[in-house]
Amino acid sequence: MISRRRSLAIAGLAPSLAAQARAQADPLPSWRDGPRRRALLDFVAAVTTPGQPDFVPPAERIAVFDNDGTLWVEQPAYTQLIFILDRIRTLAPANPAWQGDAVLRAAIAGDMHAVMAGGTEGLLRLAGLTQAGMSPEAFQRIAGEWLATTSDSRWRRPYTALVYQPMLEVLALLRGQGFTNFIVSGGGVEFVRAFSEQAYQIPPHQVVGSSFALTPGEAAGRITLTREPRIDFVDDGPGKPVGIARFIGRRPIAAFGNSDGDWHMLRYVTEGPGRRLGMIIHHDDAAREYAYDRASHFGRLVRALDEAPARGWQVVSMREDWGRVFSAP
Amino acid sequence: MISRRRSLAIAGLAPSLAAQARAQADPLPSWRDGPRRRALLDFVAAVTTPGQPDFVPPAERIAVFDNDGTLWVEQPAYTQLIFILDRIRTLAPANPAWQGDAVLRAAIAGDMHAVMAGGTEGLLRLAGLTQAGMSPEAFQRIAGEWLATTSDSRWRRPYTALVYQPMLEVLALLRGQGFTNFIVSGGGVEFVRAFSEQAYQIPPHQVVGSSFALTPGEAAGRITLTREPRIDFVDDGPGKPVGIARFIGRRPIAAFGNSDGDWHMLRYVTEGPGRRLGMIIHHDDAAREYAYDRASHFGRLVRALDEAPARGWQVVSMREDWGRVFSAP
- Residue B264: list chain A partners with CB under 8 A: 216, 223
Q: Which amino acid is at A12?
A: G
Q: What is the pLDDT of residue B9?
A: 41
Chain B residues whose beta carbon lies within 8 Å of the beta carbon of residue A246 = 189, 211, 214
* Interchain pair B249, A189: CB under 8 A: yes
Work out the average pLDDT over B210-232: 95
Distance from the Cα of A93 to chain B's closest Cα (Å) equals: 31
Subunit contact B249:A204, Cβ cutoff 8 A? yes
Contact A250 B211 (CB under 8 A): no
Instruction: List b or e across B229-245, with b for residues whose CB sees 16 or more CB atoms inside 10 angstroms.
Output: bebbbbbbbbbbbbbbb
Looking at the 3D structure of chain B, how many domains does it have?
1
Instruction: Give the chain A residue whose CA is nearest to the CA of B247.
Output: A205
Residue range B123-146: mean pLDDT, rounded: 90
Number of H helices, E strands in chain A: 14, 7
Residue B266: closest CA among B283, B284, B241: B241
Over pLDDT 90: what percentage of chain B?
Answer: 80
User: Residue A1: what pLDDT?
Assistant: 39
Residue A80 to chain B, least CA–CA distance (Å)? 18
Query: Does A241 score more than 80 pLDDT?
Result: yes
CB-nearest to A248 from B205, B267, B271 is B205
Report if residue A138 sits inside a domain: no
Which of B140, B227, B246 has the most A C-beta neighbours within 10 Å, making it the best mutation to test the interface with A?
A: B246
B250 touches chain A (CB under 8 A): yes
In this structure, is residue B108 part of a structural domain?
no
Residue B146 falls inside a structural domain: no
The span from the CA of A170 to the CA of A27, in Å, is 8
Checking if the pLDDT of A21 tops 90, the result is no
Digit-coded pLDDT (tens) for A154-202: 999 999 999 999 999 999 999 999 999 999 999 999 999 999 999 999 9
Per-residue pLDDT of A122-160, as tens digits, reads 777 888 888 889 999 999 999 999 999 999 999 999 999
Q: Do B206 and A205 touch (CB under 8 A)?
A: yes
The residue in chain A having the minimum alpha-carbon distance to the alpha carbon of residue B211 is: A246
Contact A197 B59 (CB under 8 A): yes
Residue A156 touches chain B, beta carbons under 8 Å: no
Beta-carbon contacts of residue A27 (< 8 Å; ≥ 6 apart): A41, A169, A172, A173, A176
Look up the ipTM and state it.
Answer: 0.90
Q: Do A120 and A186 form a contact (C-beta atoms < 8 A)?
A: yes
Segment 60-79 of chain A within 8 Å of chain B by CB = 62
**Crossing angle, helix B119-131 and helix B79-91, to 10 degrees?**
40
Mean pLDDT of B209-222: 96
Kindly state the average pLDDT of the residues B251-273.
98
| Nearest CA distance, A242 vs chain B (angstrom) | 6
Tell me, yes or no, if A182 comes closer than 8 A to chain B by beta carbon.
Answer: yes
Which residues of B are less than 8 Å from A183 in CB distance? none
Domain contains B8? no
CB contact under 8 A, B267 and A241: no
The CATH code of the domain that includes B273 is: 3.40.50.1000
CB contact under 8 A, A204 and B264: no
Task: Note the pLDDT of residue A207.
Answer: 98
**CA distance to partner chain A, nearest, from residue B76 (Å):** 29
Residue B16: the pLDDT is 55
* Residue of B205, B241, B249 lying closest to A223 (CB–CB): B241
In a domain, B272, yes or no: yes
Q: In what order do the strands lie in the sheet with A254-257?
A: A222-233, A207-219, A180-188, A62-65, A254-257, A277-282, A314-317
* Lowest-pLDDT choice from A28-37, A111-120, B131-140, B315-324: A111-120
- Whether A247 and chain B come into contact, CB under 8 Å, resolves to yes
Would residue A51 count as lying in a domain? Answer: yes
**Alpha-carbon distance A217 to nearest alpha carbon in chain B (angstroms):** 8
User: Could you give the CA distance from residue A228 to residue A288 in angstroms, rounded to a whole number?
Assistant: 40
Percent of chain A with pLDDT over 70: 93
In a domain, A161, yes or no: yes
**CA of B39, closest CA in chain A: separation in Å?**
24
Q: What pLDDT is recorded for position A125?
A: 82
Q: Which residues of A touch B207 (CB under 8 A)?
A: 249
User: At residue B68, does pLDDT exceed 90?
Assistant: yes
Which chain B residue is nearest to residue A201, measuring alpha carbons? B59
pLDDT digit string, tens, across residues A46-86: 999 999 999 999 999 999 999 999 999 999 989 998 999 99
Average pLDDT over residues A275-294: 98
Q: Are A301 and A260 in contact (CB under 8 A)?
A: yes
Percentage of chain A modeled with pLDDT above 90: 80
| Beta carbons of B250 and A223 less than 8 Å apart | no
Cα nearest neighbour of B203 on chain A: A59
State the number of CA atoms in the 13 A half-sphere of A227 facing the CB: 27
Q: Tell me, yes or no, whether A64 lies in a domain.
A: yes
* CB contact burial B286-311 (16+ within 10 A = b; e otherwise): eeebbebbeebbbbbbeebbeebeee
Q: Which domain holds residue B60?
A: 31-76+160-321
> Does any CB of chain A come closer than 8 Å to the CB of residue B193?
yes
